[in-house]
Structure 1
Amino acid sequence: MLEAIQLNKSFADKQVITDLSFKVAQGEIMCLLGANGAGKSTTLNIFLNFLQPDSGQALIDGIDVHQSASCKDKLVYLPEQVNLYQEFNAIDNLKYLASLSGLTVSDAQIHAALDETGLEPNARKQSLKNYSKGMRQKVGIAFAIMRQAKVLLLDEPTSGLDPSATLEFIGIIERLAKKGAAILMVTHDFYCAHTLANKIGIMDKGQLLTLLDNNKLPLSSLETTYHELISGKAVMRAAS
């Protein structure tokens, strides 16, 4: 559903993405771990068609995102800070987003989507200026549910969330994956990546150093492998 094929991107004389390739299937969650400047957000921006790669392809459901706008209908992006209309309530925000996307939705459909995210009914008619980050995320995810998004791109979604809100977020994303969404998340959060992902990519300086199968991978092993790779102590092992 989501595929990077030998992506390369540079800014001036700085290479920020080098020969990046990976796939995310329907119902699969992939996390990219890496420090600031590793190329994670640049990767998302290429899939969003905010940036053109120097070479390679970014595909959504087999369609090159830079050749056709049709694949945008399958995609929802949740940034680190969900920028919705602060003076609107959750229902009005979702109605407006739906109208921008050409969707016709009823109040019942909006409430059903918000029910899936766990946003409390008494909060839905409050303006978003009174919302926490976790509550704003729920509105963004409700839109993904309404749109029946086949691909979800998440940028540092647990940054600033308390442990309870992080666990709630994890549960919501797991349910979306079970419905068949392909999910790509970039994060610094080892715990969230380990809990959610089917596979975890570790990036540094624009390169995908390794792609780990997260099945039965201990969290301690993930952290050790990450630090060894970033320090250069495990490059040869990761490449083998």
Structure 2
Amino acid sequence: MTRAPILEARCLTVRRGNRVTLNALNLAVHAGSVYALLGGNGAGKTTTLNSLLGFVQAASGQAVVDGIDASVKPQEARSRLAYLPENVALYPYLTGVENLRYFCMLSDLSLTKGQARELLNGSGLSAEAQDRKVALYSKGMRQKVGLAIAQARQARAMLLDEPTSGLDPSAANEFAHSILAARRSGMAILMATHDLFNALQVADRIGILKEGNLVAELDARNVAHDELEAIYLRHARGGMEAVNP
């Protein structure tokens, strides 16, 4: 029997005033898989994430997290999720280990220093960096602490909003390996991004949003970078088209 998706948009429509920001969106992310959502500014990527977090009310349809309608039970839906924004907010005068232990404490999780180090090792943060104050961290290092926090919470799914924005190629590659490790652990991951290369590097499925419409959906294993770029630019410059099978 096929297992139900962990993250799902079911004919999800969101309106802001008279403007439709998501139009009957359907997508599904299963455990142990990564879905990359591409699109320009205003395409509806962040609205999709906020709907699953229960911060945006659906006009119709559902945003579902592990079987829970996020519009109806937002707190319960969020308890199943880890969220990594474009800029991870950490306490600058605490170390990486101290930040991780503190944020876990806020979620009623108690971590020893050894457990915190193990999680930070798994996210790719060097042992030397773990004891440095976060004020001295690069953005990529902050993202790794954010990933460790997500792993510590043992969330069923993770939402990523432009996670590689501002990262140099080396840091983006390291981050991709961390995402793949999270996928192997069984997480369902939905990533909103502009980064076509990173999307191909980590995703199983890729969707392209335009003006709130899912205009294409692709198997990442069967598309090359130049082909994805051509498809993306065609939709960005052209009109609406049907979703690919």
Structure 1: tracts of 5 or more residues without a match: none
Aligned residue identity for 1:138: K
Sort the Cα spacing of 1:58 and 1:233 in 2 relative to 1 into closer, same or farther, 3 A.
closer
State the secondary structure of the residue aligned to 1:159: coil
Identity %: 42
Match of 2:200 among 191, 194, 199: 194
Structure 1 residue 239: deviation in Å?
A: 5.6
Aligned residue identity for 1:96: Y
Structure 2: tracts of 5 or more residues without a match: 1-5
Q: 1:157 aligned to 2:157?
A: no
Kindly indicate whether the alpha-carbon contact (under 8 Å) linking 2:217 and 2:244 is maintained by their aligned counterparts in 1: no
After TM superposition, the runs of 4+ consecutive aligned structure 1 residues lying more than 3 A away are none
Structure 1 residue 158: deviation in Å?
A: 0.4
Match of 2:97 among 73, 81, 91: 91
User: Which residue of the partner structure matches residue 117 of structure 2?
Assistant: 111
Deviation digits for residues 195-238 of structure 1, max 9, x if unmatched?
111000000001110111112311111111111122226725x4
Q: 1:77 aligned to 2:107?
A: no
Equivalents in 2 of 1:129, 1:91: separation in Å? Answer: 13
Equivalents in 2 of 1:118, 1:232: separation in Å? Answer: 40
Kindly indicate whether the alpha-carbon contact (under 8 Å) linking 2:54 and 2:77 is maintained by their aligned counterparts in 1: no
Equivalents in 1 of 2:131, 2:52: separation in Å? Answer: 34
Q: 1:15 aligned to 2:23?
A: no
State the secondary structure of the residue aligned to 1:215: helix
State the secondary structure of the residue aligned to 1:183: strand
User: Which residue of the partner structure matches residue 189 of structure 2?
Assistant: 183
User: Which residue of the partner structure matches residue 122 of structure 1?
Assistant: 128
- TM-score with structure 2 setting the length: 0.93
Kindly indicate whether the alpha-carbon contact (under 8 Å) linking 1:91 and 1:125 is maintained by their aligned counterparts in 2: yes
Equivalents in 2 of 1:51, 1:140: separation in Å? Answer: 23
User: Which residue of the partner structure matches residue 204 of structure 1?
Assistant: 210
Sort the Cα spacing of 1:19 and 1:110 in 2 relative to 1 into closer, same or farther, 3 A.
same
Aligned residue identity for 2:124: G
Structure 1 residue 49: deviation in Å?
A: 1.3
State the secondary structure of the residue aligned to 1:97: helix
- TM-score with structure 1 setting the length: 0.95
Q: 1:3 aligned to 2:24?
A: no
Structure 1 residue 168: deviation in Å?
A: 0.4
Paired residue total: 239
- The CA RMSD measured in Å over matched residues stands at 1.4
Q: 1:62 aligned to 2:67?
A: yes
Equivalents in 1 of 2:180, 2:114: separation in Å? Answer: 23
